[in-house]
Structure 1
Amino acid sequence: MWFKNLQIYRLPRAWAVTADELSAALASQAFTPASSSELLRQGWAPPRGDGAPLVHAVNGQFLLQLATEKKLLPSSVINQVAKAKAAELEEQQGFAPGKKAMKELKERVADELLPRAFSIRGNTWAWIDPVNGWLVVDAASPSKADDVIKLLLKAVDKMPLESVRLQHSPVAVMTAWLESDEAPHNFTVDQDTELRATGESRAAVRYVKHSLDPEDIGRHIAGGKQCTRLAMTWNSRISFVLTEQLAIKSVRPLDVIKEGEAITYSDDERFDNDMMLMTGELAKLLADLVEALGGEAKA
C-alpha cells in the first residue's frame, strides 16, 4: 500500500498519544451505513477490516481510514420528475406552479427519491507519524483532506495540528532550482513542470515528459513566469510532483524500493511490511524536502 497524494500537516514532534487513546477518541465517530433518508454519511472505519481497531499501529506509526457513503441523486433526475409532477399540477389547478412552489416541489421529489438512490462508498487514508510530527492525508485535493481533518479535530480534543509553515514559498524555491539548473541535495528534477505568469494574463506553459532546456526555461522565468508544479525524484527511490501549495502528488515508489521489500507470508504481514516501508521512506522524504525548501519558519 502506498499513498498516491500527500496533503501535509504538522504535529509536535514526539506527540504523546497512543494508538489506543486515539482509537478511543475516534470511537464516537465510527462509521455506520447511511439511513434511507441520509444523503451523506462519514465516519472512521478500521483500516484492517471489521473487528479491528480504528487505529492500526505499526512501529510507532498510525494508519486511519475515513469511510464515506454518498447517495447518487443527480439533479437532472430530480428536475425530470419534478417537471412531470408540475405538469400534473398545472392540469389539475389550471395554472403552472410558481417559483416558490416549484422549489418546494423539487425538495419533496428529492426526499421521495432518496430511499431508492444508489450508494457509493469511498475511503480516504490518513497516516500519523507521532515520532516526527507529521499528519498526511492521501487526497488529491485540499477539500477532500479537509473532511478528514474536520472530523479528526472534532474527535480529538485540543489536537495540536497546524499547517506546515516554511521559510520560503515552494514557488520561489522551485523557480530558483529551474533557473540555476541545479536540484537540491538528494533530489533530481524530472521532465514535467508548469510555469505560470503572476500577472492578470495567468499565462502558463507546461512541459510533460519533455527535456527542460535551461535556456528555454530561463526565458520563461525572465518573462515573469514562476514554477507552480515540478516533477522530482528523491534519492532514486520515490518520484513525485511538488505543487505550489506544498502538496505532493503522483507519488510512486521506484524499483529500488520494491527490490528491497521483505518476503512475507500472510496478508497481515504483507500489509504491515508495506506500511513500515512506506512510512519510513516518506518520513525521510518529507524531512529532506522541508530542508530543501529552506526549512520550517520559526514561530
Structure 2
Amino acid sequence: MFFKNLTLFRFSPSVANDLSRLDDVLPEHRLRACGPLEMFTRGFVPPVGSGDGEPLTHTVKQCTLLTVGGQEKMLPAAVVNDELQRKVQKIAEEEGRKVGGRERKRLKDDVVTELLPRAFVRNSRMSGYVDREKGWVVLDTASRKAAENALTQVREALGSFPAVPLAPEEGVRVLLTDWLANGVLPAGLTLGDECELRDPASATGAVSISRRQDLDAEEVKEHLRNGKQAFRLGLTFDDRISFVLGEDLVVRKVKFLDVVVNELGDNPSDAHAEMQAGLALLSLELGRLLGKLEEWFGLPRPADA
C-alpha cells in the first residue's frame, strides 16, 4: 500500500468538485485486454482484487485512491528485424531484385501485423490518489511520462481534469544546495545519506553521486566549494519518512520508517479493510509532507478561473 515514488500535480477547488463523479465514470473506462492488432491498452483496474464487481476507487475522508492498469505487447525490435530480413532475402533470391525503402517499410508493417497476435503481453499497474481538500494528485511513479499517461486516463474518464505540474516559487536546487552546504534545514527535516551533485554551468560536467555517505563529509563539502550543486538530496522528515528529493520535485525512494509501519498494526483479514487502513495512514503521512513541501518551495494551489 505504501507508495515508493511520488510524482505530484495540483488542481483548483472547482476541479475538486468534479472528482465526485469518479465512481460514476470510471466503470466505463475499465482496462480491457489488448486486441490482436493492438500494441497497448490502458484503463482503470480495482485497487484491490481483480473481479469485475470490485470497486475502482477507495475513499478515506478527502482522499480517493484509484489504479490505472495497462497491457502492452512485447515485440522486440530484434525479432521484427530478423523476420524482415528473412522476407527481404527471400524476395532477392526468388525475384532477383533489391527491395527499396518504401517497399521495405511496407514489409516491416506486414511483419508487425503478423507477429502482434502472438506477442507476449506485459501487465502494469500504477496507483495514485487525489486529495480533494488540498488539491493534490499523488502518483506512485518517478516517471513523468508514466504520470502524464495516468492523468490522460483520468481526463478521458471525466472529460476534463486540469491538474498541472508543480510550479515552485523558490529555486529548488538553490535550497537543496543550501541545506547540504550549511546543514541548516527546516524544522523536522534532516539530511539522509544520498545526494547527486552536478556542475550547473556545464551539461557535460562531472557528476558526483554519493550513497550511504555521511553528507557532512569533507568530500561532499569539497564538491560544493568547486561549484557543484545538489540536483538530488536524501532527506528524512520527522523521523517517519525518508526519501530522495530531486530538483524536479519528484520524490523518489520513499520509505516509511518503522514508527509509521507499526502504526498500521496487524493486517485485517478483509482486503478492503486493509486497503482503507493503509490509505488512511498513507494520506495522513504524505499529507503532512506535502504541506511542508508547499511551504518550503512555494507551491500554491491553482486558483479557480
TM norm. shorter chain > 0.5: yes
Q: 1:60 aligns with which of 59, 62, 65?
A: 62
> Match for residue 251 of structure 2?
248
Equivalent residue for 2:200, pick from 198, 201, 218: 198
Question: For residues 219-274 of structure 1, what are the alpha-carbon distances to aligned partners after superposition, in whole Å with 9 as ceiling and x for unaligned?
Answer: 32232211000011111001111001000010111000122224333222212111
Residue 238 of structure 2 corresponds to residue 238 of structure 1: no
> What is the deviation of 1:297?
8.5
> Corresponding residue for 2:102?
100
Residue equivalent to 2:226: 223
State how 1:38-117 maps to structure 2 within 5 Å. Answer: 38-48=38-48, 49-50=50-51, 51-117=53-119
Q: Percent identity?
A: 30
Corresponding residue for residue 26 of structure 1 = 26
> Which residue, out of 267, 270, 281, partners 1:266?
270
After superposition, the Cα gap between the structure-2 partners of 1:297 and 1:165, relative to the gap in structure 1 and judged at 3 Å, is farther
Q: Distance in 1 between matches of 2:160 and 2:271?
A: 36
Q: State the match for 1:16 in structure 2.
A: 17
How far, CA to CA, are the matches of 2:198 and 2:301 in structure 1?
25
Contact in 1 for aligned 2:12/2:302 (Cα 8 Å): no
Query: Which is further off, 258-267 or 133-142?
Result: 258-267
Q: Do 2:192 and 2:236's aligned partners in 1 also have CA atoms closer than 8 Å?
A: yes
**Unmatched runs of 5 consecutive residues or more in structure 2:** none
- Does the aligned pair in 2 maintain the 1:140–1:249 contact within 8 Å? yes
Give 2:289's match in structure 1, choosing from 266, 285, 295.
285
Q: CA deviation at 1:126?
A: 1.5
Partners in 1 of 2:301 and 2:270 — Cα distance? 44
Distance 1:110 1:246 in 2: 39
Secondary structure class of the residue paired with 2:213:
coil
Distance in 2 separating the partners of 1:180 and 1:13: 38
- Distance between the aligned counterparts of 2:83 and 2:301, measured in 1? 56
* Aligned amino acid, residue 88 of structure 1: K
Q: Which one is further off, 97-106 or 223-232?
A: 97-106
Give the residue type in structure 2 aligned to 1:266: D
RMSD: 1.9
1:150 matched to 2:156? The reply is no
Separation of aligned partners in 2, 1:173 and 1:128:
27
Tell me the equivalent position of 2:169.
Answer: 167
Q: Residue 46 of structure 1: CA displacement? A: 2.1
CA–CA separation in structure 1 for the residues paired with 2:211 and 2:301: 32
Alignment gaps of 5+ in structure 1: none
Deviation of residue 64 (structure 1)?
1.0
- Structure 1 CA distance for aligned equivalents of residues 301 and 256 of structure 2: 29
Amino acid at match of 2:198: R
CA distance in 2, matches of 1:214, 1:106: 56
Distance, in Å, in 1 between the alignment partners of 2:302 and 2:284 is: 26
Structure 1 contact 17–130 (Cα < 8 Å) conserved: no
Q: CA deviation at 1:218?
A: 3.6
Question: Which structure 1 residue ranges, 4+ long, deviate > 4 Å from structure 2?
Answer: none
Cα drift, residue 298 of structure 1: 8.6
Q: Does 1:37 align with 2:41?
A: no
The separation in 2 between residues aligned to 1:249 and 1:268, in whole angstroms, is: 27
CA deviations on 1:162-184 (whole Å, 9 max, x unpaired) are 22222212111101111211221
Is 1:179–1:214's contact at 8 Å kept on the other side of the alignment?
Answer: no
Distance 1:64 1:193, change over 3 A: same
